[in-house]
Chains A and B, each alone.
Chain A
Amino acid sequence: MSELVVGLEVPSRGSRLRAACGDFIRRRPLGAIGAAVILLMFAAALTAPLISPYDPVQVHFAAMLAPPSAEHWLGTDSFGRDVLSRLIYGSQTALIVGFGASLLGATIGALIGVASAYFGGRIDLLLQRFMDVLLSFPLIILALALVAILGNSIPNLIVAIMIPMVPRCALVIRSSALSIREMPYVDAARAAGFTHSRIILRHMLPNVMATYLVMLTAFLGQAILLEASLSFLGLGVQEPLPAWGLMLRGAAVEFAETAPWMAIFPGVAISLAVFAFNLFGDSLRDALDPRLRTQ
């Protein structure tokens, strides 16, 4: 058999990945733009200490509410802190909370969804009822209540944002796992006497990967938005930590007329980040699974 392969060029993993990326850029330019913005955001977050012109928490009362200038490109806030530096550092907060919450939420949701579909029967019914209950709370209300319970450190914020996402992911993953459960290879695995956890983790989970990735990217933008909303309400990230939603709180609205840069730029940063994640997520969905083109 092996002679048959000789002469055929077997592409290495790396070059295959490169080809896939090139294909993605050519066929989905909007998604590629989104990906570029996301990469830029990562670069900003990783190199924040190097590229930000000022210390994001350093108070300068001499430079309070300074308009954008050569010194402070995006102006300063009511404490004289450089807005651009705070935006750059704020991308760290947004990415940590965004990725933390959506990874956890989508993963736990996927596990519950797959388990629910695999076991079926009473377990499925119970889990689904419980998910229905969680789904009845508006996202922001549930997150708010959870933050009030847990207190507002960054890990707690991640948990509070993650939990409302679990039932939303479980619902979608369950429905695609239901069809996989009927596949012959799952029957075969069962006949071979594999444990439940092995069948779920090794045979079913990899096959809902496409759906999982789509949910994950959709959650990313939502998590960043939710974090910004909670921080804006004063229930998320706390001063002096730089976070985009927090930058819009209080003084930004109070001084909106005299210092509009304080109110405008953080909002642009949030919108741009979420926009990029949504753009990328949409294209990824279309590329991975055309059946999921529901929204």
Chain B
Amino acid sequence: MGAYLIKRFFLMFPTLLGVALVTFLLIRVIPGDVVELRYSGDRGSVSQEVIDKERARVGLDQPVWKQLATWLVGLAKLDFGTSMWTGAPIWEEIELRFALSLQVAVMATVIAVLLALPLGVLAALKQDTWVDYVIRIFSIAGLAVPSFWLGIVFILVLLVFFQWLPPMVYTPFWQNPWENMAQLIWPALAVGYRYSAVSTRMTRSAMLEVLREDYIRTAKAKGLWQSLVLRRHALKNAMLPVMTVVGVEFAFLIGGLVVTEQVFNLNGLGLLFVQAVAHRDYTLLQALVMLVAGIFIFMNFLLDVAFAWLDPRVRYA
């Protein structure tokens, strides 16, 4: 187990390096740069000298390989540098927004799991009955309804039927939990529906597979209570693939809220990402993408560790 974990741990780094390279190159192919954009408003009136000076200030006058080297060295020290657009340290730019996106992602995960487990198990137990069909349609619809549109519908319903709008300004949870929840519960529900749909489908199919196993029949045949067989024998084994889906979706949600944040006017990582693209803020973009991809890669590592811990077959393979 120890050797496997160490190997798996170090396997993260080539992927991270690959992500860093792809990110760096992709971003530099985007036409235009931050200096050009900053002065695009008063084109012509700015002398070449000023532009060159600004380029030198943000480090764009360096050859590309040098920029890459500087960034990689910074990355290794977990130092993302400063934003090319605002000049502020990137950690500062990201901190609060990360907290917001993380909170929405955590809330959406809670909603998704609370819905998915009972629905998925129920659908599997009642396979091919009307209960199964209703749950399946509910979850296929969850994959189809765009979360940003669901957000619009929530706002509309709150406005028309309750004459109430969620607060527009973000309040950290520890300052005023009530105010904070009143704002963030809606985006969490909007993305949570899709998330729960994915997890419900996985729970259902994993349960169906496990319920066909011999040991379930044995457990039933020896007269164990149905609920005990379900919890101890079936659900425990069906949880592994469900965990993967939940984990991966969670990792992607942190950066993938882009569109939903727009609807609710949330100042999260997604909005920051869209702004960074608009400003060609290379350093901020690189940091954001690395952060999101890094979380995903680390989540996969955690899942593998959890699998090895929970499932002896993985451990000894």
Chain A: residues with CB nearer than 8 A to chain B?
Answer: 30, 129-130, 132-134, 136-141, 144-146, 148-149, 151, 221, 225, 228-229, 232-233, 245, 248, 252-253, 256-257, 260, 263-264, 266-267, 270-275, 278-279, 282, 293-295
What are 24 pairs between A and B in contact, CB < 8 Å? A30-B133, A144-B273, A144-B274, A145-B27, A225-B144, A229-B258, A232-B148, A233-B258, A253-B152, A256-B156, A257-B156, A260-B156, A263-B153, A264-B156, A267-B153, A271-B144, A273-B144, A274-B145, A278-B143, A278-B144, A282-B140, A293-B208, A294-B205, A294-B241
Residues on the A chain within 8 Å of B259, using CB: 140, 229, 232-233
Q: How many pairs of A and B residues are in contact by the CB < 8 Å rule? A: 137
Report the Cα distance A73→B307, complex, angstroms: 55
The answer to whether A295 and B202 have CB atoms under 8 Å apart is: yes
On whether A256 and B273 interact (CB within 8 A), knowing A132-B15, A233-B262, A274-B143, the answer reads no
- Set of chain A residues within 8 Å of B155, measured between Cβ atoms: 253, 256
A137 near B293 with CB under 8 A, answer: yes
Given A138-B255, A228-B146, A271-B144; A129-B262 close (CB under 8 Å)? no
On chain B, the residues within 8 Å of A144 by CB distance are: 258, 273-274, 277
In the bound complex, CA of A228 to CA of B26 (Å): 23
How many angstroms from the CA of A257 to the CA of B156 in the assembled complex? 6
Is the C-beta of B263 less than 8 angstroms from some C-beta in chain A? yes
Given A149-B29, A221-B144, do A139 and B256 touch, yes or no (CB 8 Å)?
Answer: yes
In Å, the complex CA distance between A278 and B159 comes to 32
Chain B residue nearest to A136 in the complex (CB): B293
Tell me how far the C-beta of A137 lies from the nearest C-beta in chain B, rounded to whole angstroms: 6
- Interface residue SS majority, chain A: helix
In the complex, are the beta carbons of B201 and A295 less than 8 A apart? yes
A126 to chain B minimum Cβ distance, whole angstroms, is 11
Q: Please measure, in the bound complex, the distance between the C-alpha atom of A264 and the C-alpha atom of B289, giving whole angstroms.
A: 33
When C-beta atoms are compared, the residue in chain B nearest to A132 turns out to be B15
Given A138-B252, A144-B273, A233-B274, A129 contacting B18 (CB threshold 8 A): yes
* Chain B hits for A293, CB < 8 A: 205, 208
- State whether A138 and B292 are in contact (beta carbons under 8 Å apart), knowing that A129-B15, A221-B143 are contacts in the complex: yes
Q: Are B256 and A140 in contact (CB under 8 A)?
A: yes
Bound form: Cα–Cα A233–B256 in Å: 13
The 3 closest A-B CB pairs, nearest first, are A267-B149, A133-B18, A275-B144
**With A149-B30, A221-B143, A248-B152 in contact, is A137–B205 under 8 Å at CB?**
no
Q: Which residues of A contact B18 (CB under 8 A)?
A: 129-130, 132-133
Q: Which B residues lie within 8 Å of A256 (CB)? A: 152, 155-156, 159
Chain A residues near B29 (CB-CB < 8 A): 149
Chain A positions within 8 Å of B277 at CB level: 144-145, 148
Given contacts A225-B144, A263-B152, 5 further A-B contacts (CB under 8 A): A144-B273, A149-B26, A248-B149, A266-B149, A278-B143
Are B146 and A138 in contact, with the CB atoms below 8 A?
Answer: no
The verdict on B2 contacting chain A, using a C-beta distance below 8 Å, is: no
- Judged by a CB distance under 8 angstroms, whether B160 is at the interface is yes
- Bound CA–CA A134/B241 (angstroms): 22
**Is A257's CB under 8 angstroms from B19's CB?**
no
Is B256 touching A148 in the complex (CB atoms < 8 A)?
A: no
Instruction: Select one of A133, A134, A141, A267 contacting B292, CB under 8 A.
Output: A141
Across the interface, B149 reaches (CB within 8 A) one of A130, A145, A270, A273, namely A270
B297 within 8 A of A: yes
Beta-carbon contacts of B260-288 to A below 8 Å, as 1s and 0s?
00110000000001100100000001000
Q: Is B41 an interface residue (CB 8 A)?
A: no
B19 touches A133 (CB 8 A): yes
Q: Are B141 and A271 in contact (CB under 8 A)?
A: yes
Residues of B within 8 A of A294 (CB): 202, 205, 241
B31: Cβ under 8 A from any A Cβ = yes
Contacts of B252 in A (CB 8 A): 138-139
Q: Which residues of A contact B292 (CB under 8 A)?
A: 137-138, 141
Chain A residues, CB < 8 A from B314? none
